Amino acid sequence: MNQLLELYIEADFFRRSFVDRIQGDERGEGVVSAAIAVLIFAFLGAAMWVAFSGIFDGAADKTQEQINQIGS
pLDDT tens track for 40-51: 999 999 999 999
pLDDT of amino acid 30: 84
Q: What is the pLDDT of residues 45-70, one digit of tens each?
A: 999 999 999 888 888 888 889 888 88
Question: Cα–Cα distance between 45 and 39 in angstroms, integer?
Answer: 10
**pTM metric for this prediction:** 0.50
The Cα 31–Cα 34 span in angstroms is 5
Which of the pair, 19 or 66, is modelled with greater confidence?
66
